[in-house]
Structure 1
């Protein structure tokens, strides 16, 4: 994902899971707001998770938010680990 293009299979999986047509530009808009400080702050990370859930029109429980926060923080937040997390989430 280094060329700033979202793979078509990833976008299709996101849309299939969401049951809603989310565009690449919508994803990029949210992604552009993410900075290293976003994942360093639990409050900002929680806000981002809820923002993405709202965009996808998917309910996310507090326990799921907590699980995602813990996974992201344990991953060290590098591109490879985030891509692996995304692939794992698409399989569920």
Structure 2
């Protein structure tokens, strides 16, 4: 994964009120494979990992919305930034 944009990190940190490092985002992103975005179970696990990293609780209904949006959008599995942006809008 390339560099996480400063805008994305700033938005995440501002929204969560927490300081999340680029390294932490990259480490988590490195575990994402194309199959992760295709498997609902894997996608749910990833959402919970991001939620835990950001220390922001995500309701089951929000998890369902994110899973649905990712599946419908056919999101590029290499675009972790887009997934994180989607989560912080909730």
Q: TM-score range by the shorter chain?
A: 0.7 to 0.9
For structure 2, the 5+ residue unaligned runs are: none
After TM superposition, the runs of 4+ consecutive aligned structure 1 residues lying more than 3 A away are 81-92
1:39-64 Cα shifts (integer Å, max 9, x gaps): 11100100000000000000100000
Please tell me the root mean square deviation across aligned C-alpha atoms, in Å. Answer: 2.5
User: Bigger relative contact order, structure 1 or 2, given CA contacts below 8 A and separation 6+?
Assistant: 2
Normalised by the size of structure 2, how large is the TM-score?
0.84
Q: How many pairs does the alignment contain?
A: 90
Asked which structure has the greater CA Rg, the reply is 1
Normalised by the size of structure 1, how large is the TM-score?
0.83
Pick one of 36, 48, 67 that aligns with 1:50: 48
